[in-house]
Amino acid sequence: MTKTILRALAGETLPTPPIWMMRQAGRYLPEYRATRAQAGDFLSLCYNPELAAEVTLQPIRRYGFDAAILFADILLIPQALGADLWFVTGEGPRLSTVTSADDLKKLKPATDIHYHLSPVYETVRILSRELPSETTLIGFAGAPWTVATYMIAGQGTPDQGPAHALKNENREVFVALLDLITDATINYMSAQIEAGAEVVKIFDSWAGSLSAQDFQDFAIAPAIKIIAALKAKHPGVPIIAFPRGAGEAYVGLHAATGADCVALDDGVTAEWAAKHVQVDGCIQGNLKSSHMVTGGDALVSETRRIVDAFKGGPHIFNLGHGITPDADPENVQLMIDTVREAR
Ligand code: CP3
């Protein structure tokens, strides 16, 4: 029996959508906080295969999600390329910046990332042994634009200003950085697949700040290159694209990129997306993650509404963005029960 997530990704309309959740292993779970404390800090957890596999499995044990997502971070790629990376508690990531040809020269070639990332591949191998037979293992990486926004600014930014500035003021360095990340991402996701990832997802969390031609050049074009390279090497492995904030540009995205599934944020209505995006293939996402904090009738009715809107085509139930640390684990169970009873 084929796994439900793989059936949906192949275009099948299922009576009940399979479910997983972005950031399903995370600080809202007491067992995650305990394992992270045991590891010492977030990055030590990412690079400890036994413990990273353990936190990946925690939400599967607790909730029986249909997919597990590898526990790692999109910023491991910059680190593998030679950037310094650290996390400031309560604030977020900090990196050494890349804003000049000299900075770029100091980075490693895209083929030299595997030694640094080998613990991540080991996590994938452990998971493919230990996951229940019905659970799909999803690998991932950040999209080149999103990863570049952190490498250029050295931290998260509300409007990706420094990355836009480099794009406009030193196009050559900007394009070379995106090309380097693109090639590294192909190598990285390919190695995840070889280690046992059954699906891969590309997170373009800041795609929404690219407009018109920039969206084509720096969100769509790198996605095409990554997806074509992975499909050439691993033809049977489905790929999920998540251009968060794409808005109208969600229309036609399956065909434009070659992705098997398009992940939706909460900036579009499910009814609109069913009509304009799901017509082209599998979709996932859309539930506002704040419902995992507030719960109650609003969570139940919005969950039912999304299941209902997408019932005519291939659908994987998910949130529009990651679950937040202040979420109530009980609300996650309420969402799952609602999806599974909403038929
Ligand atoms: O989804 C999962 O459960 C798998 C693991 C995963 C993490 N990050 C773990 C994590 C995945 C898929 C990511 C992706 C990621 N990381 C993205 C793209 C998705 C998105 O949220 O838009 C981005 C932009 C990052 C970069 C990143 N990592 C930031 C900005 C932060 C700090 C903000 C925050 O939430 O604390 C992180 C840290 C991070 N990555 C945590 C987790 C569980 C929290 C770290 C902790 O335990 O303290």
DSSP letters along 56-69, please?
HHHHHHHH--SEEE
CA–CA separation, 11 and 108 (whole Å):
39
- Residue 198 CA to residue 128 CA, distance in Å, equals 9
Residue 264: name the closest of 204, 311, 219, 211 by CA: 204
124-129: which pairs have CB atoms within 8 A and are 24 or more residues apart?
Answer: 124/70, 124/192, 124/195, 124/196, 124/197, 125/49, 125/195, 125/196, 126/49, 126/50, 126/53, 127/53, 127/56, 127/57, 127/68, 127/70, 127/196, 128/195, 128/196, 128/197
Q: Chunked in runs of 10, what are the mean pLDDT values of the chain (343 residues)? A: 94 98 98 98 97 98 98 98 96 97 98 98 98 98 98 98 98 98 98 98 98 97 98 98 98 98 98 98 98 98 98 98 98 98 68
CA distance 165 to 188: 28
**Residue 211 backbone phi and psi in degrees, to 5:** -115, 155
| 280 SS3 class | helix
Q: For residues 230 and 238, what is the distance between their CA atoms, to the nearest angstrom?
A: 10
Quick check: 317 and 24 in contact, CB under 8 A?
Answer: no
Local structure of residue 15 (DSSP, 8 states): S
Give start and end residues of each alpha helix (H) in the chain.
4-9, 30-39, 42-46, 49-63, 76-80, 101-105, 114-130, 144-153, 161-169, 171-195, 212-215, 221-233, 253-257, 270-276, 291-294, 296-309, 329-341
Q: How far apart are CA 192 and CA 158, in angstroms?
A: 30
Strands 67-69 and 282-285: unpaired
- Counting atoms of ligand 1 from 1, which one is nearest the CA of 146? 24
d(Cα 21, Cα 38) in Å, to the nearest integer?
24
- Residue to probe by mutation, ligand 1, list 28, 29, 31, 74, most atoms within 8 Å of CB: 74
Say what the pLDDT of residue 255 is. 98
Q: Which fold has domain 71-263?
A: TIM Barrel (3.20.20)
State the span(s) of the chain assigned CATH 3.20.20.210. Answer: 71-263
Write the CB contacts of 40 (distance below 8 Å, at least 6 apart in sequence): none
CA distance 200 to 230: 10
CA of 73 relative to ligand 1 center, distance in Å: 6
Q: Which two tokens stand for residue 12?
A: 């099948």
Q: How far is the CA of 42 from the centre of ligand 1 (A)?
A: 10
Q: Residue 321 has what pLDDT?
A: 97
CB 253 within 8 A of CB 243: yes
Provide residues with CB under 6 Å of ligand 1: 22-27, 36, 42, 69, 71, 73-75, 92-93, 140, 142, 156, 203, 205, 322
Q: How large is the angle between the packed helices 161-169 and 144-153, nearest 10 degrees?
A: 100
In whole angstroms, what is the distance from residue 59 CA to residue 301 CA? 24
Separation between Cα atoms, residue 252 and residue 101, nearest integer Å: 36
pLDDT at 1: 65
For residue 136, what are the contacts with CB-CB under 8 A and spacing of at least 6?
Answer: 3, 4, 5, 6, 66, 67, 68, 198, 199
Task: Report the atom number in ligand 1 closest to the C-alpha of 27.
Answer: 47
**Residue 342, pLDDT score:** 64
Report how far apart, in Å, the C-alpha atoms of 270 and of each of 18, 90, 188, 274, 334 are. 17, 33, 33, 6, 20
- Here the tokens at position 189 are 């996701």
CA of 244 to the centre of ligand 1 (A): 14
Predicted TM-score (pTM) of the model is: 0.97
Q: Give the model's pLDDT for residue 31.
A: 98
- Taking the CA of residue 142 as reference, the ligand 1 atom at the shortest distance is 18
Measuring from atom 20 of ligand 1, which residue has the nearest CA? Answer: 205
